[in-house]
Homo-oligomer: A and B are copies of this chain.
Amino acid sequence: MANPIDFYFDFSSPYGYLASLRIDGIAATHGREVIWRPYLMGAAMKLTGSTPLINRPLVGDYARLDILRSARRYDVSITIPSKFPVASVAACRGFYYLTGSEPDRAKHFALSVYAAYFSQNRDISSHTVVSEIAAECGADPTSFAAALSDSAIKDRLRRETDGAIEAGVFGSPYFIVDNQPFWGNDRLSELDEWLESGGW
């Protein structure tokens, strides 16, 4: 069995959202599975000394334009959320809670969190909002809400974020397959060509 693709992303990343809508399809054409790995990109950004694109002079204006232009290109409805970027701790914990027993629902939840944030301007840093999204995906709201404060789930997210950084990950989206890292939604076509050709 060929190695899976590790797909690292932050729920506050619009380019992560765009990639989340395409990565499974691209992987499938090459007979690869995808391991979805949300993590706290802010922890990596502390190490790299980076700041959110949107907050930087000059870069911020470009990023606003490019996010919306990229969304149009892939026919995805995106508006810049009123609170952006935002802490994605609750969404990540919810994902890792669901993925333990219901991996398909976890993925459905991840896509729904992204759509809620970037298409519906819902505040995904809120436990309440994230629990509502989980309920919309058919999860039990009471146990889900409890899991958001569960120490085992908190530990899981810490381990995942530490593991991402140990693997060299610092951005969103960020892919690793066959030990090759690819950073950015605009590198998905390169990842596709890499798998098609066997690399260069």
Among B66, B170, B190, the residue within 8 A (CB) of A59 is B170
Contact of A51 with B by CB under 8 A:
yes
Assembly of this chain: how many copies? 2
Nearest CB of B to A172, in Å: 13
Check A48 against B44 for contact (C-beta < 8 Å). no
Residues of B contacting A168 with CB < 8 Å? 58, 61-62
Minimum CB–CB distance for A97 against chain B, Å = 28
A50 contacts the other chain (CB 8 A): yes
Name the interface residues of A140-182: CB closer than 8 Å to any CB of B. Answer: 165, 168-170, 180-181
A62 touches B200 (CB 8 A): no
Contacts of A187 in B (CB 8 A): 186
How far does the Cβ of A72 sit from chain B's closest Cβ, in whole Å? 5
A4 to B73, CA, bound (A): 23
Of residues 10 to 69 in A, which have CB atoms within 8 Å of B's CB atoms? Answer: 44, 47-51, 56-59, 61-62, 65-66, 69
Count the A residues whose beta carbon is within 8 Å of the partner chain — how many? 30
Whether B183 lies near A66 (C-beta < 8 A) is yes
Contact partners of A65 in chain B: CB under 8 A: 181
B56 pairs with A50, CB closer than 8 A:
yes
The verdict on A184 contacting chain B, using a C-beta distance below 8 Å, is: yes
Residue A101 CB within 8 A of the other chain:
no
- Residues in B whose Cβ lies below 8 Å from that of A44: 58
Bound form: Cα–Cα A43–B168 in Å: 29
Contact A69-B200, Cβ < 8 Å, known A62-B181, A181-B62 = yes
Give A93 Cβ to nearest chain B Cβ, in Å: 24
Other than the given A49-B57, A186-B187, 9 more pairs (CB < 8 A) read A47-B58, A49-B51, A58-B165, A62-B181, A65-B181, A73-B200, A184-B186, A186-B190, A189-B189
